[in-house]
Structure 1
Amino acid sequence: MFEVQYSRWDIQDGIFKVEYLGQDIEDEIFGVGYSGWNIQGVTSAVLEVHVGTGSVFSVEGQRAVLPAWYTSRSQKKPYVTWLLDKDDADPFQVLTYLDGTVKVEETELKPRVGFLHPVLSHNISLVINVTREGDSGQYMCTVNVVDEATSTGKNVAVINLTVLVPPAVPTCHLHGSPAVGANVTLSCSSEKGKPSPGYQWQRTAPIPQVFFPPAQDRAKGTLKLTNLSLEMSGLYVCVAENRAGSAECSVALEVHTTSAKAVIAGAVLGSLGALATVVFFARRVVGYRRKKRDGQEDVANEIKEDAVAPKTPTWARRPAADTISKTSTLSSIAG
């Protein structure tokens, strides 16, 4: 009695296949009625769970199979549990098999998850239909049999599932004026994709052309075109791509010239505008000074008209006779 060794596994046309000691053994060996494996006189070891791979990748919307099986000498029905451990939540059950009954737990996976084969076939592979990005995580399978012994941890297996998301259709933009001699930047961005998509610009018409750094930034999705010429006109296509797929958008670049007449007209209009501005401000200054001068003259005239002559003392307005009389009187008194 010794432990069965596997060198390769595969699933073809819905049939689970394992290569055992160089010999291909298909799903029939897992059929009901086998007490463990008795192949060419070799009996399997005690209860143990095996996986075909520790990591499974699936594209969103497709089917994912997490390959697992167990070996046991017992004819008792096993107790099988599949749990999902995600980074943002505690582990939870998604699928169980107990007393001959399959139970799909109340999770987002319920309408899409199940066993790929009958559990009694010893093939306990998990299948997820129409995968979603949120299905990604660490799936743990545990098998227990009432009268079967197992080594510590041998009845548990872990498979990591990563659901890839193709890039969404990107958007392309032209930044700048495509005139001869000018510089412009083409940008390309996709709002969705796992892993993050890379971007590749190329000109498809009239002459195919590919671009490389530093003109092109694959991570940011930008393409810088400098010192434009008429020959650089054409259709520029951006492809957003990751492991799950690709999508594209395009920009039609038409490089135009700036005519001499347009330059002269622009210069004339600019000069006229500058002259008009100077005249406008000059008139404002002259008007301001004139208004200020007129205001000062009005104030001076008002001061002259409103001025009051100084009052003459009473004694200064009396007749000279009174003065003489008072003088004579004073003289008489003195004598």
Structure 2
Amino acid sequence: MAGIRSAAPPILLVYLLAGWTKSLEILPSPDPEEKAVGDSVMLRCQFTLDGRDIGPLDIEWSRTPPDPTASQIIIIDYSGDRVYETSVEDMKGRVHFSSVDPKNGDASINITRLRSTDAGMYHCKVKKSPGSRTRPMKLDVSMKPSPPTCLVDGTQEIGKDAVLKCLSVGTPPITYFWTKEGSSHMLPSTAIADVSAGTLKVRNASMDNSGVYKCTAKNRVGSSECFIRLAVSSSSNNGGKIAGAIIGVLLALLLIAVIIWFILRRKKKKTTYEKEEPFEIREDVPAPKSRVSTARSYTVDSQRSSLGSMSPSNMEAYKTHYDRLAIDENERPPAHSPTLTPSFKVAAPSLSRMGAVPVMIPAQHRDGSIV
């Protein structure tokens, strides 16, 4: 009996400790679904307390870095009725407690504007002496498909195969689905779709296959769409389009050639006009050497003009008289008589027989200027 009594206190102590450790519990909840970049997510962590939990309440959220050898990073903390935000640079301002007062049993957090680097393992740890519980959860962050690019590869002629292509970028795997816009949204019976490559091949295309086709790129976190028009036509129509394009190009080249020819012609005409333009040369009238009377000037100039019109054979007969007249004119001081009569005159008939030509002498003013 003594042995039984001695064993009772240790068993009771074990039961008491077991009751204390089970008083703090974190309720089970599923892991969050895979999220896309830019979305928001709630990481659930709800717990229950018992009257035997008398210590201060501490809630700590941490994230396991990609490097398994590195220690966990605390992203948010609640202690002493106060929230301490994360010091992790790439998560500042994006992590918050879902509840205004986490001590009421809700330690869940929200992460906004998700990034691909937010993916990983997260740990919710709740402590209230003498109990402590930790719940891990995994967060997957993926990139949804980008708006795909749709195009028609190859020819669109009747009787030939038309190939439609669709390409998008995102977290694999990405699957592609083709539909034809219209009442039925059914693809042609001769169409073959490749969901992984994103191609749609319409064999032996006909005019009925023409229309608008839609491609939907989808992965686990989202989807995107694009549209493309298939216009199946005969080869003759295509030839007409090609001929029209060639004619248009030739007309454009001809217009350019005409413009260039007009510019060169105008430039050449301008250059020719500049070469043919005469240059005006002006010669100043020399001043008179001396003042002579009108009569002397008329007589002397008349004789000189008459002599200048004679032939060289007739000049010898009058050379002596001409020299004497010039000497008398230079040696005689200037006179102011109104009329000077030369000592020798030649009659007009004689001058005509000698071959002289009558010349009209313009009238002169007293100071020698021409009137």
What TM-score, normalized by structure 1, do the two folds share? 0.57
What's the CA shift for 1:164?
Answer: 4.4
* Identical-pair percentage: 27
Structure 2 residue 188 is matched with structure 1 residue 225: no
Q: Is the 8 Å Cα contact of residues 239 and 247 (structure 1) preserved in structure 2?
A: yes
Deviation at 1:205, TM superposition (A): 4.3
After superposition, what is the alpha-carbon deviation per residue over 1:215-274, rounded to whole angstroms, capped at 9, x for unaligned? 111111111111121221111111112343322111111112123996xxxxxxxxxxxx
* RMSD, aligned α-carbons: 3.2
* Equivalent residue, structure 2, for 1:3: none
1:202 touches 1:211 (CA, 8 Å); kept in 2? no
Residue in 2 aligned with 1:300?
none
- Matched to 1:254, the amino acid is A
Counterpart secondary structure, 1:209: coil
| Aligned residue in 2 for 1:241 | 218
d(CA) in 2 for partners of 1:211, 1:261: 23
Match of 1:255 in 2: 232
Deviation at 1:88, TM superposition (A): 5.3
Distance in 2 between the 1:52 and 1:211 partners? 47
- The residue aligned with 1:109 is 91
Which position in structure 2 is the counterpart of 1:76?
Answer: 55
Residues 187 and 221 in structure 1, CA contact (< 8 A), matched pair in contact too:
yes
Task: Map Cα deviations across residues 34-78 of structure 1 (whole Å, 9 max, x no partner).
Answer: xxxxxxxxx993233334223444344333111112333323322
After the TM superposition, list the runs of 4 or more consecutive aligned residues in structure 1 that deviate by more than 4 angstroms. 211-214
Cα distance, 1:208–1:119 mapped onto 2, change above 3 Å: closer
Cα gap change, 1:201/1:56 in structure 2, threshold over 3 Å: closer, same or farther? closer
Match 2:157 to one of 179, 185, 191: 179
Show the counterpart of 2:358.
Answer: none
Counterpart check, 1:127 vs 2:110: yes
How many residue pairs match? The answer is 217
* Match in the other structure for 1:92: 73
Structure number with higher helix proportion: 2
SS of residue paired to 2:103:
helix
What is the CA–CA distance in structure 2 between the aligned matches of 1:44 and 1:246, rounded to whole Å? 47
Using the alignment, how far apart are the partners of 2:190 and 2:22 within structure 1?
A: 58
- Quote the Cα distance in structure 1 between the aligned partners of 2:223 and 2:30: 27
Q: 2:60 touches 2:77 (CA, 8 Å); kept in 1?
A: yes
Change (3 A) 1:172 1:179: same
Which of the residues 19, 22, 25 maps onto 1:48?
Answer: 25
Contact 2:210/2:230, CA 8 A, preserved across alignment? yes
Gaps of at least 5 residues in structure 2 are 1-19, 240-371
Distance in 2 of aligned mates of 1:75 and 1:62: 39
Q: 2: CA distance between counterparts of 1:149 and 1:51?
A: 17
Per-residue CA shift, 1:81-140, capped at 9, x if unaligned? Answer: 111124357431111123333212222222010211222212111111232333222111
Alpha-carbon deviations, 1:119-167, whole Å to 9, x = none? 221211111123233322211112223x3145xxxx1101112234432
Which letter maps to 1:83?
S
Partners of 1:95 and 1:185 in 2: CA distance: 53
Instruction: Specify whether residues 122 and 216 from structure 1 end up closer, same or farther in structure 2 by C-alpha distance, changes over 3 A only.
Output: same
TM-score for the superposition, normalised by structure 2:
0.52
Match of 2:141 in 1: 163
Q: Provide structure 1 residue ranges, at least 5 long, that are not aligned to the other structure.
A: 1-42, 263-335
How far off its partner does 1:214 sit? 8.2
Structure richer in strand, relative to its length: 1
